[in-house]
Amino acid sequence: VMDACVAEIQAIWHDARVNGNLKRPTWPMIVFRTPKGWTCPAYIDEKKCEDYWRSHQVPMGDMSTQEHIQILEEWMKSYRPEELFDEHGTFRAELAALAPKGHRRMSDNPHANGGLLVRDLKMPDFRKYAVDVPTPGATTAESTRVMGKFLRDVMKENLASKNFRLFSPDENNSNRWQDVLEVTNRCFMAEIYPEDDKLSPDGRVMEVLSEHQCQGWLEAYNLTGRHGFFSCYEAFIHIIDSMFNQHAKWLKVCNHIPWRRPIPSFNYLLSSHVWRQDHNGFSHQDPGFLDHVVNKKAEVIRIYLPPDANTLLSVTDHCLRSRNYVNVVVAGKQPAPQWLTMDQAVKHCTLGASIWEWASNDKGSEPDVVMACCGDVPTLETLAAVELIRTHLPEIKVRVVNVVNLMKLLPATEHPHGMNDRDFDALFTKNKPIIFAFHGYPWLIHRLSYRRTNHDNLHVRGYKEEGTTTTPFDMVVLNDLDRFHLVGDVIDRLPQLGSRAAYIKQALHEKLIEHKHYIREYGDDMPEISGWKWGSSRVVSGPSTSTEGDNV
């Protein structure tokens, strides 16, 4: 039967590769049904074993009885070991000679050691795709659409090499990678109708509504030395949690096997993320894959949350060039403010976490508070909060720290990208309040930084399992991640504001009430929220002595 199937497969290959017949074949399949525990004792202690669930357990757990020893001996002898081994217990030479040799051995076959087959991708210069950012927040762009233009040209450069594919569970266009379809099609081997769009047997976009299948495809593609990216809605990537586990464990083990050659990294893009699922609602809101990923060995795991398109381009280029990692990139697809020029973005991504000097006002002095952020929407809300502080509390010294590489928060002893304590303390201070706006569940930040000097002063805002079908800004309000809550967090931790803080906090609460009334009446966010731009409302004069500026 095996010979017949191999011959049929070879005939199908010949028909496609020589005769050009690309009609989807009916591949042969062998269905081999055997009883569970086949060949084990039928009954042990008068209880059914073969072809029954007990054969999966330890049917003779108690080996202290002669009866059980006798059963085991007869069972082992049923395999006729005398036919396999000689009188000295040595495997018979004529049987050993049947094993494949050299590269035919399973462990030495180059297709099972894909690093031997890897060819580097031809990479266009990602800087050429930069979004023009004349001033922070002046430009709006869809970050993953910009990424898609870069991936289009990566695809174009490597069409002849046939070593780059994109994988999406029916979300390639939704996640803004549609420009890739200018140079290739979706791969489809079944019948194609006239009305079908961008389908062909040689397409290099693998799109099917099965996260499992996309995961398996890309794993196999990487394991055979080729490159790819898997895009998925953030909430639904959990479907492949156990598959990710096994691949990450495999990579970890292979790092310590000298004859294993590095393979291309497994790259995820998680888009349509928790903070911009306001139209789909609660079922589509879950950033918890990050919590799952950080459980794996540090030598394998990388997590990036680029705040804008230029940082996403830099991260994407890095991921496609890397080897033996699992790279998780989280980025939004909706129009959003762009913060960094390409030169700034490259430097920021290289550092992994850095002070945004243009948003801070503490240079040359100690900050009163550190406003940290990680993720595109948390960055937006943090900057909006900082502007409120600088407008209405100009005497407060604020340092803005953005984290693009989540692993920077770990100690250097725990992760290759981690910061040593000296650098961490210099960035986040040893004793100042830290208000940290995070894309995911807030306890992950505490988990990564609990050993740091200033952890007791760290207050994290993030997703806390509140959501519904609502407006974009209301999503952050529901989870207390909005600019008004962030300003309130600062006030609560700066006693030097004294009684003045009461007026400001009341104004913040009133603004949240106004927001609720407005979205209920109009079904959209207030124009001052949806149309907010960095620097549009900040005063540049010195501290006010009146309370008029407290009306946020």
**φ, ψ dihedrals at 177, nearest 5°:** -100, 20
- Alpha-carbon distance values, 91 to 74, 80, 95 (Å): 21, 13, 7
> Coil, strand, or helix at residue 355?
strand
What is the pTM (predicted TM-score) of this model?
0.89
Give the burial class of 493: count Cβ atoms within 10 A of its Cβ; 0-12 exposed, 13-18 middle, 19 or more buried. Answer: middle
227: left (phi over 0), alpha (psi -120 to 50) or beta: beta
Residue 65 bridge partners (DSSP): none
Per-residue pLDDT of the chain (552 residues), as tens digits, is 999 999 999 999 999 999 998 888 899 999 999 999 999 999 999 999 999 999 988 888 888 889 999 999 999 999 999 999 999 999 999 999 999 998 888 878 888 889 989 999 999 999 999 999 999 999 999 999 999 999 999 999 999 999 999 999 988 999 999 999 999 999 998 889 999 999 999 999 999 999 999 999 999 999 999 999 999 999 999 999 999 999 999 999 999 988 889 999 999 999 999 998 878 888 899 999 999 999 999 999 999 999 999 999 999 999 999 999 999 999 999 999 999 999 999 999 999 999 999 999 999 999 999 999 999 999 999 999 999 999 999 999 999 999 999 999 999 999 999 999 999 999 999 999 999 999 999 999 999 999 999 999 999 999 999 999 999 999 999 999 999 999 999 999 999 998 888 999 999 999 999 999 999 999 999 999 999 999 876 543 333 333 334 444
According to DSSP H, which parts of 294-413 are helical?
309-321, 342-351, 376-392
**Contact status, residue 271 vs residue 233, Cβ threshold 8 Å:** yes
Q: Who's near 70: CB < 8 A, 6+ residues apart?
A: none
Q: Who's near 492: CB < 8 A, 6+ residues apart?
A: none
Predicted pLDDT of residue 237: 96
Tokens, residue 46? 């008068």
| Residues 183, 186, 187, 189, CA torsion sign | negative
Query: For the chain, how far is it from start to end, CA to CA, in angstroms?
Result: 79
- Among 177, 154, 162, 183, CA closest to 226: 162
Q: What span, in angstroms and rounded, lies between the C-alpha atoms of 378 and 371?
A: 11
- Alpha-carbon distance values, 216 to 49, 221, 243, 324, 471 (Å): 35, 8, 8, 16, 36
Q: What span, in angstroms and rounded, lies between the C-alpha atoms of 409 and 122?
A: 33
- The residue behind tokens 């693998």 is 206
- Among 41, 39, 37, 35, CA closest to 68: 41
Q: What span, in angstroms and rounded, lies between the C-alpha atoms of 285 and 289?
A: 11
**Contact status, residue 269 vs residue 144, Cβ threshold 8 Å:** yes
- Among 300, 274, 319, 187, CA closest to 476: 274
**Contact status, residue 75 vs residue 41, Cβ threshold 8 Å:** yes
Q: What span, in angstroms and rounded, lies between the C-alpha atoms of 316 and 541?
A: 41
Predicted pLDDT of residue 499: 85
Q: What span, in angstroms and rounded, lies between the C-alpha atoms of 351 and 272?
A: 27
Q: What span, in angstroms and rounded, lies between the C-alpha atoms of 171 and 264?
A: 23
Q: What span, in angstroms and rounded, lies between the C-alpha atoms of 109 and 103?
A: 5
According to DSSP H, which parts of 181-284 are helical?
211-223, 241-254
Say how many residues make up the chain: 552
DSSP calls for 242-254 = HHHHHHHHHHHHH
What's the chain's Rg over C-alpha atoms?
Answer: 30
Q: What span, in angstroms and rounded, lies between the C-alpha atoms of 274 and 283?
A: 10
Predicted pLDDT of residue 23: 83
- Alpha-carbon distance values, 527 to 483, 518, 524, 533, 536 (Å): 15, 10, 9, 11, 13
